[in-house]
Chains A and B, each alone.
Chain A
C-alpha cells in the first residue's frame, strides 16, 4: 500500500515537473499579454465581454503566425470589481508574469487604482472605455473617447440640430458623471446658456425610484423651451429610469435623452420599446454598415458561439488598441515598453466603422463621433456624425483648472504640462 502510494506520488511529481519544464520552455517563444478585466462582481456584465474580445484578437494574431515569430499567450486575471484588487492583480501581471502589455480596466476608479503600479514598474496599459479625461500617463494609451469625443459633440448636436435650449444633466453619483457634468456645465455657459436653464441631478448607483426626478424633468421641460437630458446615469439604474420616462409619457420627440453609458450590450438585457428614439453618443455602433464592421461581427459571433451576440464601442476600442500595439511592436522589433511606447505615436489603424484611428502624442486617439437613436430591436440608427475625425483632448479646454494644460509625450515628454507656468507637474492621482 505504502509502496504503491509512493510510486503514485512519484509519478505525479514527475508529471508536474515535466509540465513545468514544458511550460517554461514554451514561455521562451511566447509573448505574454495581460488581461485585467473583472470577471465577477458588479462590473462583470460589461468587462467579461472585453476579456473575450482580447482573447479573440490574440487567437487571430496567433493564427496569422503570432508576433515577431513568437506566439501570443494570454494571462487572464480577475480583479473582481474590487478597486484595490485591481492594483494587486496589475502588480502580479507586471512583476510575476512579466507581461509585455495589459488590456484592462473599465471604471475610472479602477484605472486610477492601477496607474501608480504601471508607472512604477514601467508597464503598458490599454484602457478601452470612454472616460472623463484630465489625465495622460506615459504608460497608458486611452483608446476610448475623451469628453471632447463624446459629450461635447453630443451637446452640440442637441443644441444645433435639435434646438435644445434647456438642459438637464442627470448622472450617477461618482467621478465620471461629476467631472463630465462640470465640463458640460462650463461648456453650456460658454455658449450663453443661463444657470436657470440648467438642472443638475445626481442619484446613487442602482437607483430605482425615479418617479420624482422624472416628474421634475417633465416640469422643467414644460417651460416652453425645447429641453434635452444629458444622461451619465450608469448601468442598471437606466432601466427603471427609461421605464418611468415611458410611463410618464415623455417621448424622445419632446424631451430627448442622450446617454453616454448605454450601448448595445446594455440594451440587450432590457425591453427597449419605451426607449425608442432616445439617443446615445459613441464612436462605434454595431449597426454601422461597413465591411470591416460586418467582418468583425461575424468573427466575434463565431468566436463566442452565439449568433445573436452584440458588439459595442469599448470592444472596438480594444480592437484598435490591440492592432496598434501589434503594429508598434513590429515597428520597434521588440516588446520593450519604452521602445513600443515611442513607436506607438503616429501609428494608424482602420476603425471598424470607416476612417483611420491615429495615436496622438497625448496618448489619445482620433475618432469619429456618432449619434444614434435607439430602435425597437435594441440597435441604433445613426442620425448624425462628425464630418471628420475628432482628435482626443486629454485636458478639457472648458475647465478653468485644465485649460492651460497640455499633454505631449513627444515634444514636451509630459502628461500634465502647464503652458502658462511652463512647468510639468506630473500626474495627480486624486
Chain B
C-alpha cells in the first residue's frame, strides 16, 4: 500500500516541484487542505477555489474527488489520489454528495471547454447548461467566438438564448426568442413561459414568444404521442414474448401449462449463471444466454412432457393441477439452489441509457432491444412452423392427430418436441425479462396470468393472434395509464378483456376448420 501511495502522486508534495508558480502551489495546497472538512458546503467552496486557481493538477484532483478516489491521511491530512479498491485503514475517503458532484461536473466542464475533441466540448457545454450562472455564461460566450464545431455552437447558442431572455435590451430578447422557437429544451420552454408571465413590455417580443410557446407545445404533444405509442409497443412486446411459448404449448397442443412462468424464470436464471461464468464479458454473456436458455428450458419442458403431461392428454383439469405442482417444485428448487433472494443480473452497457432523438423524445435502449428481439423470436418461430418438416408435423398433429399418425408421424416424439419448443421459447423470453425486471423465484408467477390473457385474447392456436393481442393490450394499457394510474389501468384492461371474451369466446382470431371443434 505504501508503495502504491508513493506511485500515485502526492499532490501536496508537488508544491516543491514547480518553482515557477510557487505562490499558486501554496494556494493550491491550502485549497486541498480545505477539502478535508466534513461540511459539504465548505467542500464545494474549496472545490470552486481549486478550480479558480487553474493549477495544472486541478482537473485531475476534481475528477478524482468526483470518482470517489480522493483520500486524506488521518494523521497529517495529506490529500492523495488512490485508485485502489480497498485502501489502508489510515486513509479517509473524501465523500461527496449530489450538489457537490454537480458542482464538480460543472467545474470540470469548464476545463473541458478547451478540449481538442468536439465530442468532449459538446458534453462540457451540455453539462454547463444544466446550471448556468453569469460566470459560466461568460465562459460560453467566449467559447462561442472561437468554436468551430456546428453542434457545439448550436448548443451554446440555445443556452445563451435562455440566459438572454432576461436581457434588458428588447432586441436581444427578441433574437433569443427567435433562437428558441424551434428548441425542445425544457429550460427554453420554461424560460419563454416565465417571460410571458412577467408581462413582456415589448409587443414584438410578446408576439414572438406566444408563437414560440404554441409551436413548442404542438411539437411536444406530437412527440408525446409517439412516446406513448412506443411505451405501449414495448409493454406489448414483453407480453408477447412471455406468451409466445404458451401459444405453442397451450395454443397448438392444448396443454394448460401452469409451469410456463417457471420456464421463463429458468431462462432468467440461466442469464444470471452465464454472467457468473463469464464475469468479464457481460454483453456477450447475455447473447450466449439466449441459446443456452433455449436448451435449458427446452430440456426441462421435454422432461415435464415425458414425465407428467403425456399421461394426462385430454384431461385439462388434471393437467392444470399437475403442472401447477410442477411449477411449485421448480420454484422451490430455484429457492434451494439460489436462495430466496433476488439475483443481480447486470445490464450490458449497450443496453443501458437511451436513444435521444431530440430533447422531447428519447427511447430507452433496453426497451428498444426487447421490441426488436420479440420480432426476431416471432419470425423465427413462424419460420419453424411454416417452413420446416417439424412445423409441418406439428400443424398436422394439431389439426388431426389420428390422421397424422396414420400418415406415419410419430406423435409421441412430436408432442415432446413441440412442448420442448414452446418451453425453449419461454426460456428465451426469460433472458429478455432478466434485463427488465427482478430475477427471483417468483418471476414466473407475475407473468403466467398475463401470458394466458394474451393467448386467449388473441385466439387460441393462432400465433398472429398472440402478436396482435399482446401488442394491443400493451398499447391500451399505456394509453389508459396516464389517466387512470397503473393500478386502475390494469383493472380496466382486465374488465374489458372479460367483456370481450364474453362476446367472442374464441378470441380475436378464432381457429377455423376442424381443429376449432377439437
Write the residues of chain A forming the contact surface with B, with a CB cutoff of 8 angstroms. 42, 44-45, 162, 173, 201-204, 206-209, 211-213, 215-216, 222-224, 236, 239-240, 243-244, 246-249, 252-254, 256, 269-271, 274, 277, 373, 375-376, 381, 383
Given contacts A208-B446, A212-B231, 9 further A-B contacts (CB under 8 A): A45-B340, A215-B231, A222-B186, A222-B190, A236-B438, A246-B353, A256-B98, A270-B342, A271-B346
Would you give the 0/1 interface string for B433-447, flagging 1 where the beta carbon is closer than 8 Å to chain A?
000111010100010
Tell me whether A45 and B341 are in contact (CB under 8 A).
Answer: yes
B435 and chain A: residue at smallest CB distance: A243
Judge whether B238 is part of the interface by a CB distance below 8 angstroms: yes
Tell me whether A269 and B341 are in contact (CB under 8 A).
Answer: yes
Tell me whether A243 and B482 are in contact (CB under 8 A).
Answer: no
Given A212-B478, A270-B344, A201:B102 Cβ within 8 A? no
10 smallest CB-CB distances across A and B, nearest first, come from A224-B190, A222-B186, A208-B437, A247-B364, A253-B102, A383-B97, A203-B486, A381-B95, A269-B342, A253-B98
Q: Which residues of A contact B344 (CB under 8 A)?
A: 269-271
Q: Which residues of B contact A212 (CB under 8 A)?
A: 228, 231, 478, 481-482, 486
Judge whether B37 is part of the interface by a CB distance below 8 angstroms: no
Given A236-B440, A247-B353, A206:B187 Cβ within 8 A? no
**CA A373 to CA B93, docked complex, whole Å:** 15
Contact residues, B214-246 vs A (CB, 8 A) = 227-228, 231, 234-235, 238
Tell me whether B364 and A173 are in contact (CB under 8 A).
Answer: no
Tell me whether B362 and A213 are in contact (CB under 8 A).
Answer: no
Q: Which residues of A contact B105 (CB under 8 A)?
A: 253
Q: Which residues of A contact B191 (CB under 8 A)?
A: 224
Partner of A215, one of B190, B227, B365: B227
Given A253-B98, A256-B98, A248:B354 Cβ within 8 A? yes
Looking at chain B's contact residues, the main secondary structure is: helix
Q: How far is the CB of B105 from chain A (nearest CB, A)?
A: 8
Q: How far is the CB of B212 from chain A (nearest CB, A)?
A: 16
Tell me whether A244 and B364 are in contact (CB under 8 A).
Answer: yes
List the count of A-B residue pairs having beta carbons below 8 Å apart.
114
Q: Which residues of A contact B486 (CB under 8 A)?
A: 201-204, 207, 209, 212-213
Tell me whether B68 and A375 are in contact (CB under 8 A).
Answer: yes
B103 and chain A: residue at smallest CB distance: A253
Q: How far is the CB of B186 from chain A (nearest CB, A)?
A: 4
B227 and chain A: residue at smallest CB distance: A215
Judge whether B506 is part of the interface by a CB distance below 8 angstroms: no
Tell me whether B485 and A202 are in contact (CB under 8 A).
Answer: yes
Tell me whether B342 and A239 are in contact (CB under 8 A).
Answer: yes
Given A249-B353, A277-B98, A240:B436 Cβ within 8 A? yes
A244 and chain B: residue at smallest CB distance: B364
Judge whether B490 is part of the interface by a CB distance below 8 angstroms: yes
Q: Which residues of A contact B365 (CB under 8 A)?
A: 247
Judge whether B171 is part of the interface by a CB distance below 8 angstroms: no
**CA A44 to CA B366, docked complex, whole Å:** 31
Most buried by A among B228, B340, B345, B366: B340
B479 and chain A: residue at smallest CB distance: A212
Q: How far is the CB of A16 from chain B (nearest CB, A)?
A: 31
Tell me whether A254 and B231 are in contact (CB under 8 A).
Answer: no
**CA A203 to CA B489, docked complex, whole Å:** 10
Q: How far is the CB of A113 from chain B (nearest CB, A)?
A: 22
Q: How far is the CB of A165 from chain B (nearest CB, A)?
A: 13
10 intermolecular pairs with C-beta atoms under 8 Å apart: A209-B486, A222-B190, A224-B187, A239-B342, A239-B438, A246-B352, A247-B352, A248-B364, A253-B99, A373-B98
Partner of B354, one of A213, A236, A247: A247
Judge whether B412 is part of the interface by a CB distance below 8 angstroms: no
**CA A294 to CA B366, docked complex, whole Å:** 41
